[in-house]
């Protein structure tokens, strides 16, 4: 599943290709890919300008605003303010992708939604496994979207003191806490394993058993890992590609993820594996204590 660095990379690559363009048509090719009110996406988004592309946690967001009739090939009736969507949200889940194609490009076998833009280009939301979804949201919908309301703080924005307070009183295992999107948003299996190894913390250690100094170290390491992964355009394990179709490169920096049975780069001991919060976890039993 694309995590924070991958979604951030996609947002940054998509932004210059679509910002300032008007959505002239929305084609829904798979009903189950739409979450929430279909009519908001299919009809109310049409005629709106994409003003910004950004990310919250693992969710990619397109901010949209009403466009004048001159911005499209034919006049558009402005939506009623009460139902005017302000965002289109994409959760890519395991295999979701967003690409921009030239005018007239036909849908592929896994294309679920197409957005036609005023410059003739087309944005495809492709998803081989159909776990991802797209949702149009009016301003008031965010207060009613349970998933959005429960999202934890952004790991690249939270301060060190707040991060320590977030974790120190919890009895849950530290990796489970990092994977819990209601605790902190955007971190998944890859970056939890890599951050915990670099901070020398066992993934199954209870949060309230970890010394404060180590939690502070984890905060810095976590942010450094995420920032490096963003600079490397994310990690490509199987399906992930950025908005230009290119693979990420952070997988070349993995120290533990996916390396069970290999030698620890620090001590030379064979890396161990276990299940934590239902996820395969790789760690060094000697270095991480």
Q: pLDDT at residue 70 above 50?
A: no
Q: What are the catalytic residues?
A: 2-3, 58, 279
Is residue 88's pLDDT more than 50?
Answer: yes
Q: With contact defined as beta carbons under 8 Å apart, do 245 and 236 qualify?
A: no
Cα separation, 249 vs 231, in Å, equals 9
The helix-helix angle for 189-199 and 212-231 (nearest 10°) equals: 130
Q: What is the mean pLDDT of residues 136-159?
A: 91
Residue 106, beta-bridge partner list: none
* Residue whose tokens read 């299996």: 189
42 by Cβ neighbours in 10 Å (0-12 / 13-18 / 19+) ranks as middle
Q: Which residue has the higher pLDDT, 241 or 72?
A: 241
pLDDT in tens, 117-132: 999 999 999 999 999 9
pLDDT tens, 97-119? 999 999 999 999 999 999 999 99
Among the four given CATH numbers 3.30.1330.10, 1.10.150.20, 3.40.50.740, 1.10.8.50, the one describing domain 160-283 = 1.10.8.50
Please tell me the pTM assigned to this model: 0.89
| Per-residue pLDDT reduced to its tens digit, 167-203 | 998 999 999 999 999 999 999 999 999 999 999 999 9
Q: Where are the domains of the chain?
A: 4-150, 160-283
Q: What's the pLDDT score for residue 206? A: 97
Residue in the block written with tokens 């955007």: 186
Pairing of strands 111-117, 23-28: antiparallel
pLDDT tens sequence across 39-59: 889 888 999 999 999 999 999
Per-residue pLDDT tens for 210-265?
999 999 999 999 999 999 999 887 775 655 554 566 555 677 889 999 999 999 99
- Which CATH number is 4-150 given? 3.20.190.10
């Amino acid at each position: 599943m694309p995590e924070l660095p991958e979604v951030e990379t996609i947002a940054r690559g998509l932004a210059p290709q679509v910002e300032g363009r008007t959505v002239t048509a929305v084609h829904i090719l798979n009903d189950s890919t739409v979450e929430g009110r279909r009519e908001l996406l299919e009809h109310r988004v049409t005629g709106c300008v994409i003003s910004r592309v950004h990310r919250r946690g693992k969710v990619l967001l397109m901010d949209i605003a009403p466009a004048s009739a001159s911005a499209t090939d034919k006049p558009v009736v402005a939506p009623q303010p009460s139902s005017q969507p302000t965002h289109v949200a994409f959760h890519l889940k395991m295999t979701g992708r967003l690409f921009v194609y030239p005018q007239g490009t036909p849908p592929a076998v896994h294309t679920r939604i197409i957005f036609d833009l005023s410059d003739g280009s087309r944005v495809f939301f492709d998803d081989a496994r159909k776990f991802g979804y797209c949702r149009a949201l009016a301003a008031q919908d965010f207060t009613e979207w349970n998933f959005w309301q429960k999202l934890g703080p952004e790991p690249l924005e939270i301060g060190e003191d707040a991060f320590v307070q977030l974790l120190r009183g919890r009895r849950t295992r530290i990796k489970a806490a990092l994977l819990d999107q209601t605790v902190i948003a955007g971190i998944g299996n890859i970056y939890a394993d890599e951050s915990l190894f670099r901070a020398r913390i066992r993934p199954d250690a209870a949060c309230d058993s970890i010394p404060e100094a180590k939690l502070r170290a984890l905060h810095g390491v976590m942010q450094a890992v995420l920032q490096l992964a963003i600079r490397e355009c994310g990690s490509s394990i199987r399906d992930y590609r950025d908005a230009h179709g290119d693979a990420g490169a952070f997988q070349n920096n993995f120290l533990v993820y996916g390396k069970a049975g290999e030698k620890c780069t620090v001590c030379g001991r064979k890396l161990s594996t276990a299940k934590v919060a239902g996820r395969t976890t790789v760690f060094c039993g000697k270095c991480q204590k």
